[in-house]
A = this chain, B = another copy of it.
Amino acid sequence: MTFELLSKDPNSKARAGKLTTDHGVIETPIFMPVGTIGTVKGVHQRELKEEINPDIILGNTYHLYLRPGTEILKKAGGLHKFMNWDRNILTDSGGYQVYSLSANRKIKEIGVKFKSHIDGSTHLFTPESAVDIQREIGADIIMAFDECTPYPCDYKYAQRSMHMTHRWLDRCMTHMKSTSPLYGHQQTLFPIVQGSTYKDLRQQSAEYIANVGAEGNAIGGLSVGEPDDEMYAMTEVVNAILPEDKPRYLMGVGTPSNLLENIALGVDMFDCVMPTRNARNGMLFTSEGTINIKNKKWEDDFSPLDPAGYTWVDTEYSKAYLKHLFSVKELLGKQIATIHNLGFYLWLVREARRQIQAGTFRTWKDIMVKKLSIRL
């Protein structure tokens, strides 16, 4: 994997870059749609590629490990072939889902023992097995196995957890080096900065992670309930330490405004279920502001979903029609809203990139953040 820094915004820390892997180029800043369990919910791979057009998507190790399982994925020749997606895939390490979905999980130095949310069966994830599973999935970018601390989190716990995350990282790196990719394309591992909302812990962790010398670095443990300002403060602290010539990935973030503010602080990569999950609940991010399409006010509004036309659905369908589909709980409603929201998110990061390259990012960002706060 290579990363090229193409331009920097003169009035912020925002950067435009180019990440290259065996599955092609990823132009940054990038938003990675979440393809939880081998599918971006409600979207055909062809639509994703041709209409929404992200260079990379995300898969969840925990979900894929449970179903279809690594045996099937290995037989298929990896997740790319299984789901017929020939661009990049990043997988999380499974840790986050283990903490949020499993019953009776036990975190120990060796790893995490947990019960499947599906059938209650017992499993153990270790730094080594998390690497193995991600090797078997065939992710282009593998995430280190970490503990994502909750918010709020007391200092002692955050500190202890951070140190364990660092020790787990060392085990992940060792295991990465002693194992090989299975499907003929290179895989790289991103370590993850933790430290909750404590500046000194974040600094310590960022220094530890920077010293590992990985091809890219991630910031975890944010967007877990803390106020936006605390998130931004942590990103700023960490980005001052993480190497400038490597991509920075802020995990699980966030709202459109969160993306822009963190791009301004030097973040290059994002993922979040928000555009897809909120779409399925009828919430649309549009060029004119945020819409709850379930509101009665839209029932006779026959104007296009979004005049900006980020994807074809925006002008193909009216607000009244989409409102009707949500009223009658039709599948097509979720499909339309999902394509729209992902189209909006991908437009947002592409436009951010263009503005960075034009040197106008900061002004544009401030205007956009205001626009994004409008509720229609």
- Contacting B at CB under 8 A, from A289-313, are 299-300, 302, 312-313
Given contacts A38-B328, A72-B324, A84-B318, 5 further A-B contacts (CB under 8 A): A38-B321, A41-B331, A68-B327, A72-B299, A331-B334
Q: Closest 5 A-B residue pairs measured CB to CB?
A: A42-B331, A39-B332, A68-B324, A39-B330, A37-B328
Q: Which of A43-51, A159-167, A267-275, A360-368 contacts B (4 or more CB under 8 A)?
A: A43-51
Contact of A332 among B41, B320, B328, B332 (CB under 8 A): B41
| Bound CA span A335–B330, Å | 12
Contact B335 A67, beta carbon cutoff 8 Å: no
Known: A68-B299, A325-B39, A335-B331. A82 touches B320 (CB 8 A): yes
A residues engaging B (CB < 8 A)? 37-39, 41-46, 63, 67-68, 72, 75-76, 81-84, 299-300, 302, 312-313, 316-318, 320-321, 324-325, 327-328, 330-332, 334-336
Return the chain B residue nearest A71 by Cβ.
B300
Known: A38-B325, A321-B84. A300 touches B72 (CB 8 A): yes
B residues in contact with A44, CB < 8 Å? 313, 316, 332, 335-336
Return the chain B residue nearest A43 by Cβ.
B332
Known: A320-B72, A324-B67. A330 touches B82 (CB 8 A): no
| Bound CA span A39–B326, Å | 12
Known: A67-B328, A330-B37. A320 touches B76 (CB 8 A): yes
| Bound CA span A312–B45, Å | 12
B residues in contact with A302, CB < 8 Å? 75-76, 81-82
| Bound CA span A38–B329, Å | 12
6 contacts between A and B (CB under 8 A): A38-B321, A38-B325, A39-B325, A43-B332, A84-B318, A335-B335
| Bound CA span A366–B83, Å | 37
B residues in contact with A43, CB < 8 Å? 332
| Bound CA span A334–B82, Å | 18
B residues in contact with A41, CB < 8 Å? 330-332
| Bound CA span A84–B324, Å | 13
Return the chain B residue nearest A82 by Cβ.
B321
| Bound CA span A37–B328, Å | 8
| Bound CA span A316–B45, Å | 9
| Bound CA span A248–B101, Å | 56
Contact of A317 among B68, B84, B330, B334 (CB under 8 A): B84
Return the chain B residue nearest A63 by Cβ.
B328
Return the chain B residue nearest A334 by Cβ.
B331
| Bound CA span A41–B331, Å | 6
B residues in contact with A67, CB < 8 Å? 324, 327-328
| Bound CA span A46–B317, Å | 11
Return the chain B residue nearest A312 by Cβ.
B46
B residues in contact with A38, CB < 8 Å? 321, 324-325, 328, 330
Q: Measured between C-beta atoms, what is the minimum distance from A325 to chain B in Å?
A: 6
Contact of A331 among B81, B84, B331 (CB under 8 A): B331
B residues in contact with A76, CB < 8 Å? 300, 302, 318, 320-321
| Bound CA span A75–B319, Å | 13
B residues in contact with A46, CB < 8 Å? 312, 316
| Bound CA span A161–B119, Å | 53
- Max chain B C-beta neighbours (<10 A), residue from A68, A320, A336: A68
Q: Measured between C-beta atoms, what is the minimum distance from A176 to chain B in Å?
A: 27
| Bound CA span A300–B72, Å | 6
Q: Measured between C-beta atoms, what is the minimum distance from A264 to chain B in Å?
A: 35
Q: Measured between C-beta atoms, what is the minimum distance from A351 to chain B in Å?
A: 25
| Bound CA span A334–B46, Å | 16
